[in-house]
Chain A
């Protein structure tokens, strides 16, 4: 089981400080949603966890080692990222895209070995893309495309999966579809899933833990029950909101209804 943690992390774009003093630990298999208003530094934090952004202070530790001292290939084998609005050439097939997930394992000229092919088939199967594997990326619907990218991320056989607003641009049906899939992956692969979420109710419904970020600092970090509360969400988004429980059959879901901006 891998673990990833940040210590006094400071993140900057040029002179502008995006986030400071971030101390987070992710050390067990769980689904974590990072929530917070636009520009709070959620996506930037996710980038730094994936080694896409070099911290200007503090550090990210992967299994106790500074991420900056781990080679790109080794990071790539442990951490998978589904970036926001990633684009592939329209004529690329789904299977081709998923095959790229094996790049961190390949030498310059080596062919795919049995293990690679097994991982690719598994990734396609677990995202239900087997039937569409020879389809071109350009001919897929938004939901299918997102599943294809997710499949590629899984082909790396990661232990940590980072998703940046995975449901953006999807309709409600496909949003739910994708979230169910993420839960399914978490259950079958026992991985750490960290995702940036815009939809609060999805975040509450599908995660174990919520991290609330505002102005580049963590304002709340805990179980859904601890964070998904009126007194946390209202100041976080500067809104008025009601947090209630919706009962449907034997299940209860937490839900937040924002009704006014402050």
Chain B
């Protein structure tokens, strides 16, 4: 038999995707600053960057649109990475911080802090992280059966998400007088994102992103199954625990700024896997980039499509994400 030699063209695809991602990210950020009720031209934008404070539009660009675009970008990158990690360590394509209940845990903790101790807003991401870890622990405990059973994981996630969602509704009933400030946050969106939010999410994002990128090799090894990973010298339990913590940290920092923004962590890693393959060395950075692009553009669309009404971007994402989730579920059922 003639051996079927294949060519290895992946490095070209990967590099191309990364470069395209960078270009698209810059373009989408520029679009996010330019588009809106007050139109801002490219030259205005250029002036605002080169000569701060001298133009009329500077205030709009600097205090409203730039922090909002940055928040959207970081949120998208964090959610995509979080989903990427979860899909990798659970070997389950349906894993996503929203679906397995981590986001809901983070959301409840963040909301409780916002309502009960509004003066401690800076601690919101930390509270969200604690909530996310707690939710992850509960879900894993429920889904454990000699390893994580994929279907049980999704079911446990749905139950936990519903439970914490109920908690959030209860909070909004008991604190109905203070709820105003958190309504748009709950729907999932970036209305009112300021530099304060950027400062709040940035350290956690950097920690999460750098930490994740450091672990790509171990993620790759875990893809081969626990036994193989162990025989390659990986401490699987310890590594998996640490990666879950990173996924929770990333999801929690996203939730503290954007509320419950679902499906980014599901869609992006999937699509990127189709494009660049399952090697996390390429998958992680590409997912982060395109996650950022998706959320920045979705936020622009949410802001401008139905203007003057602003649709929360979370609703927007749900309309794209839910059908995609059903598609994956159906395909998986057919395979197994």
Nearest neighbor of A71 in chain B, beta-carbon distance? B233
Of B49-57, B125-133, B221-229, B247-255, the one contacting chain A is B221-229
**Taking the complex as formed, is B231 at the interface, i.e. its CB lies under 8 A from any CB of chain A?**
yes
Rounded to whole angstroms, the CA-CA distance of A71 and B230 in the bound complex is 11
* Nearest Cβ on chain A to B95's Cβ, whole angstroms: 15
Docked-complex contact A100 and B224, CB < 8 angstroms: yes
Binary CB contact string for chain A from 38 to 72 against chain B (1 if under 8 A, 0 otherwise): 00000000010011100000000000000000011
Q: How many residues of A contact B (CB 8 A)?
A: 37
Assess whether B233 is in contact with A76, with CB atoms less than 8 Å apart. yes
Q: Which residues of A contact B220 (CB under 8 A)?
A: 100
Q: Which of B5, B221, B228, B230 interacts with A134 by CB under 8 Å?
A: B5
Chain B residues with CB below 8 A from A132, complex form: 3-5
State whether the Cβ of B328 lies closer than 8 Å to any Cβ in chain A.
no
| Residues of A with C-beta under 8 A to B233 | 71-73, 75-77, 103-104
Nearest-neighbor residue (CB-CB) of B223 within chain A: A89
Interface residues of A in 56-115 (CB under 8 A from B): 71-73, 75-77, 79-81, 83, 86-89, 91-93, 95-97, 100-101, 103-104, 106, 108-109
State the CA gap A52–B226 with chains docked (Å): 9
**Is there a chain A Cβ closer than 8 Å to B242's Cβ?**
no
Q: B321 in the interface, Cβ–Cβ < 8 Å?
A: no
Q: Is B232 an interface residue (CB 8 A)?
A: yes
Contact A91 B231 (CB under 8 A): no
Q: Which residues of B contact A76 (CB under 8 A)?
A: 231-233
Q: Which residue on chain A has the smallest CB distance to residue B220?
A: A100
Contact for A135 among B6, B228, B235, CB less than 8 A: B6
Asked whether B7 lies within 8 Å of A86 as measured between CB atoms, the reply is no
**Which residues of chain B are within 8 angstroms of A202 by Cβ–Cβ distance?**
none
Q: How far is the CA of A80 from the CA of B233 in the complex (A)?
A: 11
- Is there an interface contact between B230 and A51, defined as CB atoms closer than 8 Å? yes
Closest 4 CB pairs of A and B: A76-B233, A89-B278, A104-B233, A73-B233
Residues on A facing B (Cβ under 8 Å): 47, 50-52, 71-73, 75-77, 79-81, 83, 86-89, 91-93, 95-97, 100-101, 103-104, 106, 108-109, 131-132, 134-136, 139
Cβ contacts A to B, 10 pairs, < 8 Å: A47-B227, A52-B227, A71-B233, A72-B235, A76-B231, A80-B231, A81-B227, A83-B227, A106-B217, A131-B3
Q: CB within 8 Å of A: which residues of B?
A: 3-8, 10, 214, 217, 220-221, 223-225, 227-228, 230-235, 277-279
